[in-house]
Amino acid sequence: MRYTTTLLPLSLAALAAADPIHIPLTRRSVRRDGIERFAAAADHVRAKYGYPTVSSNLRRRAKTAGIDIINQDADSSYIGTVTIGTPSQSFPVVLDTGSSDLWLATTSCTSCPDQTPEFNPSSSSTLVQNNTSGQNSEIEIQYGSGAVKGTLASDTVSMAGFTVDSQTLLLVSDVTSGLLGGNVSGILGLAFEALASTQATPFWEALVNDKQMSSPEISFWLTRFIDDADATPEEPGGVFTLGGTNSTLYTGSIEFQSLVDSSSPTFWMLDVSSVTVQGKSVSIPTGSSAQAAIDTGTTLIGGPSEAVKNVYAAIPGSQALSGQYNGFYAFPCSTTVNVSMAFGGSSWPISPEDMNLGPMQEGSNYCVGGIFDLDLGSDVSSGNGNPSWVVGDTFLKNVYSVFRASPAAVGFAQLSEAAGGSSGTPSGSVGSATLTGTNVPTSSTSSTSSTPSASGTSTTTASSTSSHSSASRVANTGAVSLGIILSIAASTLSGWFVLA
């Protein structure tokens, strides 16, 4: 023991007197892949210490995307695809500027048609059920002739590269018969949050709020197959653009009209300022009775009784229909019906093909008109935030339409030759431009600039560069005016419906 204790201090002394230990460092060879590695290293440090990374900001850079859509059942509805959940599941949905809710049929839906593509909530690891007071309460969304019922949830929703990580949607377990048809899973509402029965921010508005889109606009080119006897149940439907416009699809300027309720919008609502039939102006109501919802989810055009009566009074030989056709009018099939509509600016012509829905029955000399009486067959009253007109695809197929969030407005432009062209030149034409190339339109996009005028009208010229108010509660109680599904159950019109 003594021997050990005698040597220990000597050993410590020897260590203290020893030279420092030098450890050689080896430098990694320099990679010849540019300076990108420094940017990656900096992002690593940002992520480590909780700062936003450049790479994530780049992924979220504002953009514009064009989406090819589907024309279902000869212009009955226009379908786009959304992906839901993790892993993602893809579903066809009606693109509807006349409503604001996103809902999908789910695997628990016992009343959905057999062919309905259904969302399986249990397959998504990112889905969160939205419980109320500890209970998963059911919510019902009323449509004029039907309803959907389900529970609220949040999940990742994507479309054309745009993503909302926690988008509220209704998981539908019960659907009124006839509400869904064909290869459709639900509706993507594209109107404003104040209209939403779920009180959720619509997908497109969430993108605007998150500054994901280059411009706070969505736009449409809708194809026409109503006059094609050989059309299949699903045909190319045109292009839906998120975040701007597609300059190959229109010519001249986009004429914008400010929304009626631009300070607190619900619907995309404009005033109908004039209707022309066979070259002559017809009398239409003014004030709140002139307010029209511009609605891609509606097949036809619905209007107030007196206005619709005056439209057909200007068509020789027309007559009001009754029974299951109550609210509709017919005219001699040999008559070419020319109708134009204005919303405070130019008067936009509607193709005679869109005004003629076809013979009442096989061999009939009378054809059903594309404008119907909205007051009949519906328990929705005008005023209190509800529109008196619903201007659907019968009109919208004839223009390039743009829905702008800020300043809130709807714009129309003439279709380019590449998009099939418009049915005629609008009176008070908003200009013209040279179209370079007439190939099939691509999803290239353009930036736009607008100049407002004193009348509330503004125009946007095509660029060569790609680029819960009381009113809303009334609108959503019992019947949402733009949630009408009107079934036209005649033999020759079987399968036609109005989804408003």
The question of whether 295 is a catalytic residue gets the answer yes
**For residue 438, which amino acid is it?**
T
Q: Catalytic one among 73, 75, 96, 261?
A: 96
Mean pLDDT of 471-488: 32
Where do the domains of the chain lie?
246-465+486-499
pTM, two decimals, is: 0.77
Element (H, E) at 276: strand 274-277
| Confidence tier at 138 by pLDDT (50, 70, 90) | confident
Q: Catalytic one among 295, 373, 375, 393?
A: 295
**486-492, Cβ contacts within 8 angstroms, sequence gap of 24 or more:** 486/144, 486/145, 486/372, 486/377, 486/378, 487/145, 487/178, 488/324, 488/325, 488/328, 488/357, 488/368, 489/324, 490/324, 490/325, 490/360, 490/361, 491/361, 491/362, 492/358, 492/359, 492/360, 492/361, 492/362
Q: Tokens 């024309």, residue?
A: 71
The question of whether 165 is a catalytic residue gets the answer no
78 touches 296 (CB < 8 A) = yes
216 touches 405 (CB < 8 A) = yes
Residues 6+ apart with CB under 8 A from 378: 144, 479, 481, 484, 486
pLDDT, one tens digit per residue, over 46-88 is: 665 566 665 555 555 678 889 999 999 999 999 999 999 999 9
Provide the pLDDT for residue 62: 77
pLDDT, one tens digit per residue, over 306-326 is: 999 999 999 999 999 998 889
The more confidently predicted of residues 30 and 220 is: 220
- Whether pLDDT at 484 is above 80: no
The more confidently predicted of residues 454 and 72 is: 72
- Whether pLDDT at 364 is above 90: yes
What six digits make up the tokens of 311?
């439209």
Q: Is 98 left (phi over 0), alpha (psi -120 to 50) or beta?
A: alpha
| Confidence tier at 124 by pLDDT (50, 70, 90) | very high
Report the alpha-carbon distance of residue 276 to residue 85 in Å, rounded: 48
Provide the pLDDT for residue 458: 57
Residues 6+ apart with CB under 8 A from 41: none
Residues 6+ apart with CB under 8 A from 33: none
Q: Which CATH class is domain 246-465+486-499?
A: mainly beta
Provide the pLDDT for residue 262: 86
Q: What is each CA distance from 245 to 6, 443, 448, 462, 467, in whole angstroms? A: 91, 9, 8, 9, 8
Strands (E), 440-491: 450-452, 457-461, 485-487
